[in-house]
Amino acid sequence: MFKYACLNNIAQTGLARFTADFEQTETIDEANGLLVRSAKLHDMEFSDNLYAIARAGAGVNNIPLDRCAEKGIVVFNTPGANANAVKELVICGMLLASRDVVEGVDWVRSNWNNPDIAAYVEKEKKQFAGTEIEGKKLGIIGLGAIGVRVANAAVYLGMDVYGYDPYVGIDNAWHLSRKVTHVTDINEIYKNCDIITIHVPAMDSTKGYISKEAIDMMKDGVIVLNMARDVLVDEKAMIAAIDAGKVRRYVSDFPNPTVAGHRGCITTPHLGASTEESETNCAKMAVDEMMDYLGNGSIVHSVNYPDCPLGPCEHVGRVAIFHRNATNMISRFTQIMGGAGMNIAEMTNKSKKDIAYSVFDLDSPVSAEVVEKLAAIDGVFRVRVIK
């Protein structure tokens, strides 16, 4: 019996997928798996019972990935599960910014008690005359699950779409409309596009990705959208550009003291994935990932360990070893198992930079003595007997 705990509200339609082999617990230290959304885990001490953390969403900056890797804790996310929700909010943001809808709504609200408001509207509406998005050049930075959906939707809306992503995956490339122009120099987007939207993960290498220098290259009157993470944009430089008339609108899903309420900023309260459908999709994927891993040792959509899809073990025993990606590790593992008279029926080894994951299916049970010897090898983080 495996135990799991929820650190945030997780959609019941997702939790209902757990089989009878899984039991929910309120005691975090006894949980084998944690399901989270926005809970901050950097200061949390993890018990030896914990094998997996599944983030019901894409961003994992609330989880200490390296520390988890070195404890043999696999961290999952749910890429693509909320992509449609974010795509729709991006399209919404483009329309709100282009048509000055927010300012128009605020003006009507401020004049609600004017008995002549209907006639007054006809005189004042010209101040909210916006522009259409059809025919405009849209630049998309990042062609992952969300970026591709935004690109394809924009094509159908009649926009001239340019995409930048030096690491675009094969699957996303297949789904990308042929009408999207794939550029290899990001400066082409900064210099030529009327609307720019960013869809890359928040990492040390992407903080301040849209910098003052990038903003200076942009066309006058550009609209910039950020539904990914606030740290991707130098927002102080963005505010200065708005005040100078360089940037027409900045649309962000991340309110903070820099942008909230500032003229020219349209800031939504982190609504990107906040739809019933998105929360359901994320919960289902997170639960499926956790069940497959805890039950079979299969890793799919991990952010700190290599993906290693496995089916159920068809042999007597299965042992998983979490270790550094170093030379001679496999030979040391097999030497210990061979010395114990254990025949290896199947073996899988996957690596991700400095981290590796090795799984051995055996024709005999895995003894405590073998586990102890494997765990004592320098560079091994954890040994887990799955069967």
Quick check: 361 and 346 in contact, CB under 8 A? yes
Q: How confident is the prediction for the chain on average, in pLDDT?
A: 94
Beta strands 22-24 and 344-352, pairing class: unpaired
CA dihedral 52→57→60→64, nearest 10 degrees, is -30
Q: Which residue has the higher pLDDT, 205 or 298?
A: 298
Give the pLDDT of residue 12: 94
Burial of 186-210, coded b for 16+ CB within 10 Å and e otherwise, reads beebbebbbbbbbbbbbeeebeebb
- pLDDT tens for 66-79 read 999 999 999 999 98
CA dihedral 306→358→347→33, nearest 10 degrees, is -80
Q: What percent of the chain has pLDDT over 90?
A: 83
Cα 40 off chain centre by:
15
Give the pLDDT of residue 22: 97
* Rg over CA atoms, the chain: 25
Task: Tell me, yes or no, if the pTM score tops 0.85.
Answer: no
pLDDT at 99 over 70: yes
pLDDT at 201 over 90: no
Give the pLDDT of residue 170: 66
Structure tokens at 30: 């006894």
Give the pLDDT of residue 167: 78
- Which residues on adjacent β-strands are paired with residue 22? 2
pLDDT at 378 over 80: yes
- pLDDT tens for 115-128 read 888 877 887 788 88
Which position has the token pair 């950097």?
42
Report angle CA 164, 168, 172 to the nearest 5 degrees. Answer: 110
Q: What percent of the chain has pLDDT over 70?
A: 99
Give the pLDDT of residue 30: 96
- pLDDT tens for 332-360 read 999 999 999 999 999 999 999 999 999 99
Q: Cα–Cα distances in Å, from 312 out to 7, 289, 333, 365, 387?
A: 29, 14, 22, 16, 10
- pLDDT tens for 269-323 read 999 888 999 999 999 999 999 999 999 999 999 999 999 999 999 999 999 999 9
| Mean pLDDT confidence for 157-184 | 88
pLDDT at 149 over 70: yes
Give the pLDDT of residue 118: 82
Which position has the token pair 């935004």?
150
Give the pLDDT of residue 274: 86
